[in-house]
Amino acid sequence: MESRDKDTTSSGVSSERLMVDAYKNQYEFNRKFLAKQGLDIDSLPSDKVAILLKDYILHLIKESTEVLDTIKFKMHRKEDVEFIRSNTIEELIDCQKFLWGMFQLLGVDDEQLIEEYWRKTEVVEQRWKQEHELKELAKCEKVCAIDLDGVLGQYPDHWLSFINSRLCTKYETLEDAKVEVDVLRYSQLKSEYRQTGEKKHIKPMHGAQRFLTDLKDDGYKIVILTARPYKKYYRIFADTLSWLKEWGFEYDAIMFDEQKNMKILNEIPNLKFMVEDNLRFANSVAAAGYKCYLFNPMNRPVNGKLHKNVYVATGFGHILDEQGVANWQ
């Protein structure tokens, strides 16, 4: 995360520090409140957390309606309600207390709360930016789509290393792991891999950052594509943005979709070319009349028939040469 400006109050204490102190104060209240019920806030079983979250949400809804009681909000009536700003603020503070309480039921401390806030902020700002810029990208003459895992990032290498570290195995290929590991355990490992932020630790493919920079210098707009399931694992979006930023990738938009091949063609019908490591996706894009490079840096045999618009690329330089990008060396 980038460092953030921390405004100070008249007393010289940072606003963030005051917020942290308030959060800790609320934690102490919740700890004592739950202790009266024979519960330890730091070791709540998951089923109890679910029940308490339900109760807190209901209280939050009630407190939210009390905020409405302090303002004129009914569109169909003239209300004789005097707006008293301090009353509205007090009701909003009640809402904040229940909201913080829910974080604390989940074991979120002040550092994680701040970290998660800024992670989510990056996602919101990226989505907002893209919603306004995709229409402009669709008008550009030079737009390319680049797959993330297997093209920009060293996948499935990192995933295979994760499997081996968890199972104390030495599988050399992902195919070996899929054959040997039972399907339930494999699925559990995959879920853990996605939930714990491991995606942030994938190493970039050698030369990947320079590849995007050279395309940008040649006037291309770049859309990064991924089928990562961010709708199921919400943190994946933020983890992906963090990874791209950390490794210095240049791009104009990023698209998440399990049917990324269809998504990009619907959004960017003027696409010049796509780079993909999955033959099925490559062939489907090629069948729609677009050029697609099947990225194969290890020059492994291709298991399947290539559409006439699919070109096997053994490296980024191969693609830059084919596209006539000058001075990329």
For the ranges 6-15, 83-92, 207-216, 318-327, the lowest mean pLDDT is seen at: 6-15
**Residue 255: its H or E element:** strand 253-256
**Which pLDDT band holds residue 17 (cuts at 50, 70, 90)?**
confident
Q: How far is the C-alpha of 85 from the C-alpha of 37, rounded, in Å?
A: 36
pLDDT tens digits, residue range 142-179? 999 999 999 999 999 999 999 999 999 999 999 999 99
Question: Residue 224: how many CA atoms within 13 Å on its side-chain side?
Answer: 26
CATH code that applies to domain 119-153+204-322: 3.40.50.1000
C-alpha separations of 283 from 163, 273, 275, 321 in Å: 30, 13, 11, 22
Averaged pLDDT score across all residues of the chain: 92
User: pLDDT tier at 7 (50, 70, 90 boundaries)?
Assistant: low
Which residue is listed with tokens 């210098």? 217
CA distance 137 to 268: 7
Indicate where the chain has its CATH 3.40.50.1000 domain(s): 119-153+204-322
**From CA 262, how far away is CA 257, in angstroms rounded?**
9
Task: Name every residue whose Cβ is closer than 8 Å to that of residue 306 and which is 6 or more positions away in sequence.
Answer: 279, 282, 283, 294, 312
Tell me the average pLDDT across 244-265. 94
State the helix-helix crossing angle for 260-267 and 279-287, rounded to 10 degrees.
30
pLDDT of residue 329 exceeding 90: no
pLDDT confidence of residue 132: 81
pLDDT value, residue 1: 39
Going by pLDDT thresholds of 50, 70 and 90, the confidence category of residue 13 is low
Q: pLDDT tens digits for 304-328?
A: 999 999 999 999 999 999 999 866 5
Quick check: 10 pLDDT over 70?
A: no
pLDDT tens readout for residues 94-138: 999 999 999 999 999 999 999 999 999 999 999 888 888 888 898
Q: How far lies 72's CA from each of 75, 76, 78, 85, 92, in Å?
A: 8, 11, 8, 12, 16
Contact between 295 and 275 (Cβ < 8 Å): yes
How far apart CA 267 and CA 252 sit, in angstroms, is 14
Residue 245 has pLDDT above 50, yes or no: yes
